[in-house]
Structure formats: structure tokens, C-alpha cells
């Protein structure tokens, strides 16, 4: 995880880099640091805390110089300490490095450096990188020393380095994202495009094993072969307004609110692309859907539409468990990989395993420049604009919208599927407006609960899983989702007076799920019904209109709002839950 950035140009670098780490903070917020170069001297400021906290202490924008690099950390190797914060310096203090990813062979490299007289001051894997560059520079040019270092690294990395002697910025990527922004005022390099979307629409999307040498010119080469690579300039469509909070207090609420329009955008795909995807599913002998967290829940939800509408069996697998299915893959298999960020390490690993076996890949993602788009045979973009809050909200409903349309397409009813989703999308603003006051009151009532349970049957079951994830990750209240029939096989032992149980009922599942609700109520549970119709069993009722196969798109909305207000009631920052990062680029 971690966000990295660099700038070389005509403007003062530190305010640009401070803004960059603010925008990349969704990738981790354990510590922050910036290095700039001024009058041929590197200076580094770094400390534990999120960007605002650290900036108050260290006043980053005062740092002079027109070139610099920056980092916001989600700790993997080495605890959250000032010493472990990036940038890391080489022993001679002349090379500064920021890194996102994990260097798997760092112990071995550390041993090599120590034998050669180097002292490593932090517990991080990153610190080997500037020292290896320093070591190789004893016999080689900066460029060759950098390439030699990159070839020694095993694991995943995107790196930005700054050399004191020449003021050169060096960058490279291997299984972690890195993009360049070509602006009039200078060149930007970052984990994603957000640090430079105001400055330029021109980006260069680096691919695995590519390195960048940036001084008064820009050179891009493959670091394994040392050969130059010609890159296309990519014109970005995202704008800065989309990545700003506007009048909202938090991105989470802004992104929940946007769903009326993002669901529409997601389902309005290029007809040719959808036909192509449908034909790939039709032709496939064995279809797998993979994702992690919320994206995995979208896969589970879609598997019910595959079954009900297209009568097609699909295998839904957590991306992190996919390798155990390796033996079932052939060149006739199709893998549909879901990932908002397109950078989730487990998803990329699943895709690589599949590709090795000749499997065709359809990616469903939100980030144009992501690694997943580079690996896939076909990519369906979610088109929901930058999702900044760490929690997935609008990307989940966009995934559901796309998959619903795709399955209807498989059944020869693409237009009907789109219509169903568009009708659901049209109801979203009303649901948000009408249910918010009730949900706020509910959040205040249940905010001190030890646990919250959610139950649903059929397609409402994955909604219960996703609802539980939303509640627990942002409010830190223990929450679990169950299939309606399952709670009584053990967990019902936890139901006592006033334990909140959210019951997700649909017309199709009403009879049985309400019977399950009765079982819980008989043991003292406090029943919160999310349904199109009131029922006696509910102690609290939130109305959501019936939408057939699009029910999961609508049902999740009140739970997203509830999760948000639970966090507010508990004085937590909904945009940055503890221990999480938006883009999980480590396995």
C-alpha cells in the first residue's frame, strides 16, 4: 500500500508534494515524509501520524527546492515509528527513496550491505534500496546503479528515488502502480493520477519492469533488458472536482450520494464491449469470479443473478484463495476479476495464475491506469469517478450494475437488464432522502451495541455480508452477516435482549426470512427491517422499494448510510478507518 510521489519542475516542490500526499492518503496514513533538494543538499522531514498531524509539526511547505519526493505509509515491514517513516536515505545521505510494496529478499540484501560496511537504521525493507544504489554507484553511473539495484529486488515495488548529486528523480515499478504526469510546469510521478489531475490531463502509464530517469529530459526503459521503451500519452477524463469533498463533510457521504448517477454510468457501457464480454462468458467452459472484500461480495451477489436469469453456474472464489483452484483451469476457462482499484495484490496474483494456464480475463475496475487493466483481455470500466473514502460504496453498486446487465445479456436480454438497473438507479436519490432521518435516529439508538447481526436469504444474503463489512470497518462495532437459515446453527446463542438484527427482506424471500426474524425476536433481538413493506415483526422499519434482480443495488444503500452515521455517532472519521488502506497492494 502506501502512496508515493515525486516532482521536478519550475515550481516549488514541497507544497505540490504536500498536496500529493493529502490526495494519496487513502493508501495509508501511518506516517508521512517529504525530501526536497535545494542548493545541492537533500533535506528530509518525516514523522508518525496522518498528513495533517505531521504537517502541523514539520511544516512541509517551508522546505525549499524545485525537486522532491514524498510518501504516505501503510506499514508492512517495520512498526509505525518515525525511523521507519519514508523517505529513507543511503548511508552517505545522498540518495533518498520512497517505496510502495514489499521487498521479499530484503534480509538477504541487508546481509550483503552489512558485510560491505553499511549500517541500516530502520526496520524497513525499503532502506536496502538507497544503500544498494549508493553501493553500485562506486563502480557505475547513477542510471546503471539504479538498474542494477532494481534487478536485485524481489517482491512488489514502485519506487521513487532522488539523487543529491545530480537532482535526478528515478522511478520504477514491479507489480505496484506508478504513473507520470506531463505538465507545463514540470513532471509528476505518483502512485495514481490524483496528485496531478489539476496540473495536466497528460499521463504516461508505466508497466511492470519499466524505469524512469528524469532530469532535464525523460527517459523510460525496461530495467531488465536496459532497452528504451516508447510510451503513448494517455489523456485522462477524471477531473479534480470529482476528487474534492465539495459541501460534504466526508467523502463517504458524498460517494453514497453519488450513486444515483454512478449506477447509471456503470450500466451504460459500450454495446460492442458488452457483446464481446457476453460472448466470452458463453464460450467459456468454466467461469470464475474473483475479488476481495466488497468486490468479492459483488461476485457472490452476481452469482445469484447468473443462476436465476442465465441458468449458468459460476465459481465464486476469494482472490486470496484462488490458487487452490489452479488445477481446474484450462485455456477454455474465463476469469472475471473485480477490483475497484485494479491494484489489489491478491486479485492480480489470481489473474497471473489464470493467465499462466491460458485463461481469458475480463476485468471490472474503476481505475484506468491500473495494473489489472494491463493484464486483462477485456476491461469493463466502472466509470464511477475517483472513490476516495477507504470504504467501497459507489464502486460496489457499479459492480452490481455491470454484472446484472452482463448476465441479462447472457440470457439474450441485455436491454431489459439495463432498464432494470436504470429503474433502480432512479430510485436511489429518494431512498437516500427519505431514509436518512430515520437512519440517523437508528444510529444514535444502537451506537453502543456490542454486535450487530444482519440476515438475508437468496440475493439478500450477500447484501447482509456486505452490510456487515460496511458497519464493522467504519464503526468498529462487531457485525456479522448470515444467510437467514444459518443464524440458528450456532450464532443465535449470541442473541439476547436488544441485540440489533437487521433483516433484509424481499418479496421473493419474505415468508422465510420473516420466520427467521421471529426466531430472533423470540430471544430478545431488536429487529430492524429493510423491506418494501412494513411487518409486525419489525421494531424499526426502513423502506426500500422492491427491484427484483436489482434488489441488492438498493438494499445496501440504507446500510451504507447507517454505517456512516454509526461512525459519526462514535466520533470516528468515516473516510479513514484505523488499520485500513484503500488499495491493498500486498498479499
Active-site residues, by number, are 2, 582
- Least Å from the CB of residue 294 to ligand F6R: 3
Alpha-carbon distance values, 321 to 289, 325, 338, 362, 396 (Å): 12, 8, 15, 19, 21
Which residues, listed in sequence order, are joined to residue 163 by a DSSP beta bridge?
A: 95
Of residues 474 and 514, the one with the C-beta less far from ligand F6R: 474
- Least Å from the CB of residue 449 to ligand F6R: 20
Cell of 429: 436519490
Of residues 13 and 348, the one with the C-beta less far from ligand F6R: 348
Of residues 134 and 343, the one with the C-beta less far from ligand F6R: 343
584 is an interface residue for ligand F6R by CB under 6 A: yes
Cell of 510: 419474505
**Position with the least CB separation from ligand F6R:** 293
Of residues 340 and 449, the one with the C-beta less far from ligand F6R: 340
The C-alpha angle 469, 474, 480, rounded to 5 degrees, equals: 30
Residue 124 CA to residue 88 CA, distance in Å, equals 9
* Size of residue set near ligand F6R by CB under 6 A: 14
Cell of 365: 475496475
Q: What is the 3-state secondary structure (H, E, C) of 379-418?
A: EEECCCCCCCCCCCCHHHHHHHHHHHHHHHHHCCCHHHHH
- Least Å from the CB of residue 567 to ligand F6R: 12
Q: What is the 3-state secondary structure (H, E, C) of 163-227?
A: ECCCCCEEEEEEECCCEEEECCCEEEEECCCHHHCCCCCEEEECCCCEEEEECCCEEEEECCCCC
Which residues, listed in sequence order, are joined to residue 256 by a DSSP beta bridge?
A: none
The helix-helix angle for 414-446 and 551-569 (nearest 10°) equals: 20
Stretch that binds ligand F6R, among 15-23, 166-174, 240-248, 287-295 (CB under 6 A): 287-295
Of residues 344 and 475, the one with the C-beta less far from ligand F6R: 344
- Least Å from the CB of residue 386 to ligand F6R: 12
Strands (E), 39-83: 41-48, 67-73
Q: How far is CA 200 from the centre of its chain?
A: 23
Of residues 158 and 295, the one with the C-beta less far from ligand F6R: 295
Cell of 322: 484462488
Cell of 465: 455480508
Stretch that binds ligand F6R, among 290-298, 407-415, 542-550, 567-575 (CB under 6 A): 290-298
- Least Å from the CB of residue 430 to ligand F6R: 24
- Least Å from the CB of residue 261 to ligand F6R: 20
Site for ligand F6R in 291-350 (CB under 6 A): 292-295, 339-341, 344, 347
CB atoms within 10 A of CB 286: 16
Of residues 318 and 422, the one with the C-beta less far from ligand F6R: 318
- Least Å from the CB of residue 337 to ligand F6R: 9
Q: Mark residues 453-482: x for contact with ligand F6R by CB under 6 A, - for none.
A: ----------------x---x---------
The helix-helix angle for 271-283 and 414-446 (nearest 10°) equals: 90
CB atoms within 10 A of CB 187: 21
Q: Mark residues 367-406: x for contact with ligand F6R by CB under 6 A, - for none.
A: ------------------------xx--------------
Give the residues lining the site for ligand F6R (CB under 6 A). Answer: 292-295, 339-341, 344, 347, 391-392, 469, 473, 584
Amino acid at each position: 500500500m502506501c502512496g508515493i510521489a515525486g516532482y521536478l519542475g519550475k515550481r516549488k516542490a514541497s507544497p505540490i508534494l504536500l498536496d500529493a500526499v493529502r490526495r494519496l492518503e487513502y493508501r495509508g496514513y501511518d506516517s508521512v515524509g517529504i525530501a526536497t533538494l535545494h542548493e545541492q543538499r537533500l533535506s528530509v522531514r518525516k514523522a508518525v501520524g496522518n498528513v495533517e498531524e505531521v504537517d502541523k509539526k514539520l511544516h512541509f511547505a517551508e522546505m525549499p527546492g524545485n525537486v522532491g519526493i514524498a510518501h504516505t505509509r501503510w506499514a508492512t515491514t517495520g512498526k509505525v515509528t518515525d525511523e521507519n517513516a519514508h523517505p529513507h536515505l543511503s548511508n552517505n545521505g545522498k540518495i533518498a527513496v520512497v517505496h510502495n510494496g514489499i521487498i521479499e529478499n530484503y534480509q538477504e540484501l541487508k546481509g550483503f550491505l552489512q558485510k560491505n560496511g553499511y549500517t541500516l537504521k530502520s526496520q524497513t525493507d525499503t532502506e536496502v534500496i538507497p544503500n544498494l544504489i549508493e553501493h553500485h554507484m562506486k563502480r557505475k553511473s547513477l542510471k546503471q546503479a539504479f538498474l542494477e539495484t532494481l534487478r536485485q529486488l524481489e517482491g512488489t515495488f514502485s519506487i521513487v528515488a532522488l539523487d543529491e548529486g545530480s537532482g535526478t528523480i528515478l522511478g520504477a515499478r514491479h507489480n505496484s502502480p506508478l504513473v507520470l504526469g506531463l505538465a507545463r510546469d514540470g513532471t509528476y510521478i505518483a502512485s495514481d493520477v490524483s496528485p496531478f489531475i489539476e496540473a495536466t490531463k497528460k499521463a504516461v502509464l508505466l508497466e511492470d519492469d519499466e524505469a524512469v530517469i528524469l532530469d532535464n529530459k525523460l527517459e523510460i526503459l525496461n530495467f531488465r533488458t536496459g532497452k528504451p521503451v516508447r510510451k503513448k500519452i494517455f489523456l485522462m477524463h477524471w477531473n479534480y472536482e470529482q476528487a474534492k469533498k465539495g459541501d460534504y463533510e466526508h467523502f463517504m457521504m458524498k460517494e453514497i450520494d453519488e450513486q444515483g448517477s454512478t449506477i447509471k454510468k456503470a450500466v451504460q457501457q459500450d454495446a460492442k464491449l458488452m457483446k464481446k464480454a457476453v460472448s466470452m462468458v458463453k464460450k467459456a467452459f468454466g467461469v470464475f469470479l474473483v475479488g476481495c472484500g466488497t468486490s468479492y461480495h459483488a461476485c457472490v451477489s452476481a452469482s445469484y443473478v447468473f443462476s436465476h436469469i442465465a441458468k449458468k453456474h459460476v465459481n465464486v472464489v476469494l482472490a486470496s484463495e484462488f490458487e487452490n483452484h489452479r488445477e481446474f483451469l484450462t485455456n477454455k476457462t474465463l476469469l472475471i476479476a473485480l477490483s475497484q482499484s485494479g491494484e489489489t495484490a491478491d486479485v492480480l496474483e489470481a489473474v497471473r495464475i489464470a493467465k499462466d494456464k491460458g485463461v481469458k480475463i475480463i476485468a471490472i475496475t474503476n481505475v484506468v491506469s491500473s495494473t489489472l487493466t494491463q493484464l486483462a483481455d477485456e476491461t469493463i470500466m466502472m466509470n464511477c469517478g475517483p472513490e476516495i473514502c477507504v470504504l467501497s460504496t459507489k464502486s460496489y453498486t457499479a459492480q452490481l450494475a455491470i454484472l446484472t446487465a452482463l448476465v441479462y445479456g447472457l440470457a439474450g436480454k441485455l436491454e431489459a437488464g439495463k432498464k432494470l438497473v436504470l429503474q433502480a438507479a432512479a430510485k436511489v436519490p429518494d431512498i437516500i432522502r427519505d431514509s436518512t432521518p430515520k437512519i440517523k435516529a437508528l444510529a444514535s439508538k444502537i451506537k453502543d451495541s456490542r454486535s450487530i447481526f444482519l440476515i438475508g436469504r437468496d440475493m439478500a444474503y450477500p447484501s447482509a455480508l456486505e452490510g456487515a463489512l460496511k458497519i464493522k470497518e467504519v464503526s468498529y462495532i462487531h457485525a456479522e452477516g448470515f444467510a437467514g437459515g444459518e443464524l440458528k446453527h450456532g450464532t443465535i446463542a449470541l442473541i439476547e435482549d436488544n441485540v440489533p438484527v437487521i433483516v433484509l427482506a424481499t418479496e421473493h424471500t419474505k415468508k422465510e426470512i420473516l420466520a427467521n426474524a421471529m426466531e430472533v425476536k423470540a430471544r430478545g433481538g431488536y429487529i430492524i427491517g429493510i423491506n418494501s413493506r412494513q411487518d409486525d415483526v419489525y421494531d424499526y422499519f426502513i423502506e426500500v422499494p422492491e427491484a427484483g434482480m436489482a434488489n441488492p443495488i438498493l438494499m445496501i444503500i440504507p446500510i451504507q448510510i447507517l454505517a456512516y452515521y454509526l461512525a459519526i455517532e462514535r466520533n470516528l472519521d468515516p473516510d479513514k478507518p484505523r488499520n485500513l488502506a484503500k488499495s491493498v497492494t500486498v498479499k
